[in-house]
A and B are shown apart, each in its own frame.
Chain A
Amino acid sequence: AQSVTQLGSHVSVSEGALVLLRCNYSSSVPPYLFWYVQYPNQGLQLLLKYTSAATLVKGINGFEAEFKKSETSFHLTKPSAHMSDAAEYFCAVTPGYSSASKIIFGSGTRLSIRP
């Protein structure tokens, strides 16, 4: 069985500060891992994905995530927060062996940016 746990349902940072959103996964098979972002009243947009090609993954809008197998983590970071980063972020996992299967989402972390 697979699952993801996002630590912190709400994170607030100042504009220009480091953003760190935490995600830990559980998987009995090598996973594919994703971060999705959902802006207010919009659908889900893929930020980045880990597919075993490289442990440090760079995504859109300056975000990146590092896959750490020893820690079963896939934390999302951005060096300098911008007001436009305010949104809900979802970590997600799917079995890497299957080309078509459901995505298991974490509970989400709402990111607020203070001026």
Chain B
Amino acid sequence: GAGVSQSPSNKVTEKGKDVELRCDPISGHTALYWYRQSLGQGLEFLIYFQGNSAPDKSGLPSDRFSAERTGGSVSTLTIQRTQQEDSAVYLCASNTPAGGSYNEQFFGPGTRLTVL
């Protein structure tokens, strides 16, 4: 597709359940980023991938959060044993870091996660 896509667009789950959020970056983009947007915390960085490796995962809030990327393309963010404070919009972005890109990141529409 032309832009970053994320699925599902909305996810409602019960406390304690595991969830998986998917991100399809723009074709050819080597870097992929996950952010979280919540009322109390604003926009927070979670993790980023260069290819299939994650040089910076400093924003993951706890060991219940994990992410992987396969084939240098699709990424999955997994939240285990969800808690109500995990409720937020999870945003994915991608880019191709190279001379002249100036680190502009292209964002997907987000997945709205609600934990009951």
Residues of A at the B interface (CB closer than 8 Å) are 32, 34, 36, 42-46, 49, 51, 90, 94, 98-108
Contacts and interface: CB of A to CB of B under 8 A. Distances in A.
A105 B91 CA distance: 13
A88 to B, nearest CB: 10
Contact of B95 (A45, A49, A100, A108): A100
Interface string B44-60: 11001010000110010
A52 to B, nearest CB: 9
* Chief secondary structure at chain B's binding surface: strand
B102 A100 contact: no
Nearest to A99: B97
Contact of A105 (B42, B106, B110): B42
Contacts of A100: 31, 48, 50, 55, 95, 97, 103
Given A44-B91, A108-B42, A108-B43, A101 B103 contact: yes
Contact of A99 (B43, B44, B99): B99
B72 interface: no
B85 interface: no
A101 B47 CA distance: 10
A6 to B, nearest CB: 10
Nearest to B46: A102
A56 to B, nearest CB: 16
A32 B103 contact: yes
A43 B103 contact: no
Contact of A102 (B56, B101, B106, B110): B56
A99 B98 contact: yes
Contacts of A51: 102
A104 B48 CA distance: 13
